[in-house]
């Protein structure tokens, strides 16, 4: 059956609906959606809170160091250029059939690099290549090679430049 047509999902939807508060305003009530599976041994809900807490801690730990980095640290690039880089990386990930985790890790790494050091306009794509190269090594079984990143950047950067940037990213 399709998502939403099974009884457990209908039950979940009922539990997440808004309810009227005494003063007439609607307020969404909090429902612990993991409790829907409390009696099902296939869902070890006793670990759910620890998993969520760990994810929240990791998110805080790996967020960019300076959240206003585009306006305070970056002089030669702007949000639009970052957006173009991300769009290009999406195309690269699609072309090479990379895992979505690889793309997300690439973008997260780019944001952390951009929050720590100023990047010149001509090096932004190089940073993107190096970050995706690193993410692929971590997430992929058969990641694109350094030569692939040289090629997909229209040979703007040599494999040695991509590797040197990778080293620099790791040192940041």
The closest of 114, 91, 120 to 103, measured between CA atoms, is 91
Backbone conformation region of residue 69, classed left if phi is above 0, alpha if psi is from -120 to 50, else beta: alpha
The answer on pLDDT for 1 being more than 80 is no
- Judged against a pLDDT cut of 90, whether residue 6 lies above it is answered with no
Instruction: Name the least confident of 22-31, 61-70, 92-101, 110-119.
Output: 22-31
pTM of the entire predicted model: 0.68
Name the strand (E) or helix (H) holding 26: strand 26-28
Task: List, in sequence order, every residue forming a beta bridge with 27; answer none if it has no partner.
Answer: 19
Distances 105 to 36, 57, 63, 136 between C-alpha atoms, Å? 31, 16, 11, 9
pLDDT tens for 14-54 read: 444 444 455 555 556 667 777 787 788 887 788 878 887 88
Residue 99 pLDDT exceeds 90: yes
Angle (CA) 11 15 18, round 5°: 140
% the chain with pLDDT above 70: 81
């Amino acid at each position: 059956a399709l998502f939403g047509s099974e009884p457990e999902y209908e039950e979940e939807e009922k539990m997440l609906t808004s309810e009227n508060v005494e003063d007439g305003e609607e307020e969404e009530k909090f429902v612990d959606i993991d409790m829907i599976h409390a009696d099902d041994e296939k869902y070890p809900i006793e670990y759910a809170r620890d998993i969520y807490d760990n994810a929240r801690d990791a998110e805080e730990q790996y967020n960019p160091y300076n959240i206003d980095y585009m306006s305070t640290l970056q002089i030669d690039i702007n949000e639009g250029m970052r957006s173009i880089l991300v769009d290009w990386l999406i195309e690269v990930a699609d072309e090479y059939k990379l895992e979505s985790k690889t793309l997300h890790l690439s973008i997260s790494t780019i944001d952390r690099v951009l929050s720590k050091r100023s990047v010149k306009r001509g090096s932004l794509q190089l940073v993107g290549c190096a970050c995706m190269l690193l993410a692929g090594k971590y997430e992929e079984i058969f990641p694109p090679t350094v030569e692939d990143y040289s090629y997909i950047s229209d040979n703007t950067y040599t494999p040695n430049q991509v590797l040197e940037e990778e080293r620099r990213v790791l040192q940041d």
